[in-house]
Amino acid sequence: MKSILLSDESKKKLEIFFEMNKLEDGRYPISSVIKLFRFSKNTVYQLLEKIAADLESLFGYELFDKNGKIIWSKKAFDMNRYNQFLLRKSLPYNFILFILLHPGKTLDDFCSANFISTSTIRRTLQPFLTFLKKFEIKINLSSMRLEGNEYEIRMMFHTILWACSLGQGILEVEEVTQKEAAVLKQLGIADCSYINNDDILTILLIAKLRIQGGFPEKSSLPVDDFIPSKTINILTDYLSNFVPSNTYLETEVRSLAFQLYFSNLYYHKDDVRVKDLSSYYLEKKGDGKFIPIIDRLFKRVDLKVQQDTMLPLVNLISIFFSFSLNHRPLPWMKEFSNYEVLFPNFTPRRSCLWKPFSRKFQPRKDLSGFLIILTSSINTFTMSYRLM
């Protein structure tokens, strides 16, 4: 995530902050701290001054004493909060948020609002734009219009807004009405302590803003087998308030159901969506989509499909279903957050483990994309089983 969204300066800040976090609490002359880093003295001085400003803004903490020494106290900082602080200030994040909140605005409008040149934007956004191409999402910079599958575009919005600000970038400016609150209540999400309500509200608001901006979902996603009819009815009632005609209401409902159920992996067995997806397995056992493959996989790793293994099972259903749409990874959180480590950790031994199942599901010579997304699930699969 950081390599895609952060500027070079922010990456250096994090590197310095990470190394300094290895220090014991105390006071240190800057000259002794500089030796820890691979950057020049001038670069470290400049970055430390900027880090000091960040820490004062974020934690109310003064990094330097009156004699210019560094005051270091690990308890005063939170590495994750600082990381998110920098992500929220990043150009790609603010660019994507601007597109969502201001449909119809152009690059010139964004430049004026952020006091930045178009050349800087084009240069800084290049790694991010290149990364989006793997999901077949393209951005016309001049018009700030997105091209690609609308459900993947919305998933990309959710991934970035949640990773960088826990949805606050949109929740702070868009009113959450009784309609959204009713959806959470009716779906059982509001009363489920294992689901962050802001996460679901972010998904709902993204859908509403894209509809109101004139970007309807035209693809009909085959979610009917997985999502309970009660959920479909609740989402239909909600979206009928925003979809201008019935032309795209059904496709919008399916898209939103997909976002709610398949935009991330699950980490707790009492998540209400886990119960819905496990019910699909129990009802369709033997002939449902992907079930024969999942049964073989469980047998391969010596697990029995039963109530206490439903969490890893529904994660596999989610992975298989998401990959089945385009036979490639989707822009969900796992794919973004693992960008730096996913490919180096893809070993031949793991490839041999997954190939028998990937051939059954995707009988083509090029299995790399499917193998990659399954490999990315191994840690989650193991973690979710241990949480039982």
Q: Tell me the per-residue pLDDT of 220-244, one tens digit each, with 9 for 90 and over.
A: 888 877 888 899 999 999 999 988 7
Q: Which of 9, 94, 10, 11 is nearest to 340 (CA)?
A: 11
pLDDT at 368: 47
Is residue 153 predicted with pLDDT exceeding 90?
yes
Size (the chain), residues: 388
Q: Which residue reads 């009819």 in tokens? A: 229
pLDDT at 35: 84
Q: What is the pLDDT of residues 79-129, one digit of tens each?
A: 888 989 999 999 999 999 999 999 989 999 999 999 999 999 999 999 899
pLDDT at 186: 95
Q: What is the pLDDT of residues 287-340, one digit of tens each?
A: 666 677 777 766 666 656 565 667 777 888 888 788 778 777 778 776 666 554
pLDDT at 331: 83
For residue 48, which phi and psi values (nearest 5 degrees)?
A: -65, -40
The model's pTM is: 0.82
